[in-house]
């Protein structure tokens, strides 16, 4: 599938405790630098899961950057959007959407113990 492939994959693994430490050290400054208002609202809605939910979204943003080969884009330009059925999708905002050339994005996230992971598949075919 080489360089001409229209399919790209990104994966990331995050320590949940590292996100908890960032939240404890930097608080709202960290939250609002990395996450959208909707992401923060959802993550804060379950106090026992805050760090896990934030970590898995952080991993999803990193996996998206890798799949799309994006450098220099804002964290908040990549958003994890939770659908009514509980599934999550990636939504791109601002210049990131025009810059990346992705047709469709597929997201899978999971967290267990002290780890959160996400995989993003970018299909650059615009169907």
**Cβ neighbours around 124 below 10 Å, total:** 15
Residue 1: predicted pLDDT: 45
Q: What residue segments make up the domains of the chain, in order of their start? A: 7-123
**pLDDT average, residue stretch 75-90:** 95
| Rounded-to-10 torsion of CA 50, 78, 15, 11 | 140
Question: Is 7-123 a domain of CATH 3.30.1490.20?
Answer: no
Per-residue tokens: 83:
């659908």
> What value does the CA radius of gyration of the chain take, rounded to a whole number of Å?
14
CA dist., res. 73 & res. 99, Å (int): 9
Q: Tens of pLDDT along 11-33?
A: 999 999 999 999 999 999 999 99
Cα 18 from Cα 99, distance rounded (Å): 30
Q: φ, ψ for residue 7 (rounded to 5)?
A: -105, 130
Tens of pLDDT, residues 34-62? 999 999 999 999 999 999 999 999 999 99
């Amino acid at each position: 599938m080489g360089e001409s492939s229209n399919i790209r994959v990104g994966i990331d693994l995050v320590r949940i405790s590292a996100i908890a430490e960032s939240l404890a050290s930097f608080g709202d400054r960290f939250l609002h630098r990395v996450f959208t208002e909707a992401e923060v609202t959802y993550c804060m809605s379950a106090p026992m899961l805050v760090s896990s939910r934030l970590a898995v979204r952080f991993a999803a943003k990193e996996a998206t950057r890798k799949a799309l080969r994006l450098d220099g884009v804002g964290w908040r330009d990549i958003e994890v959007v939770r659908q009514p059925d509980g599934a999550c999708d990636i939504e791109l905002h601002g210049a990131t959407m025009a810059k990346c050339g992705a047709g469709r994005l597929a997201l899978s996230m999971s967290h267990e113990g002290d780890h959160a992971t996400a995989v993003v598949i970018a299909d650059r075919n615009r169907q």
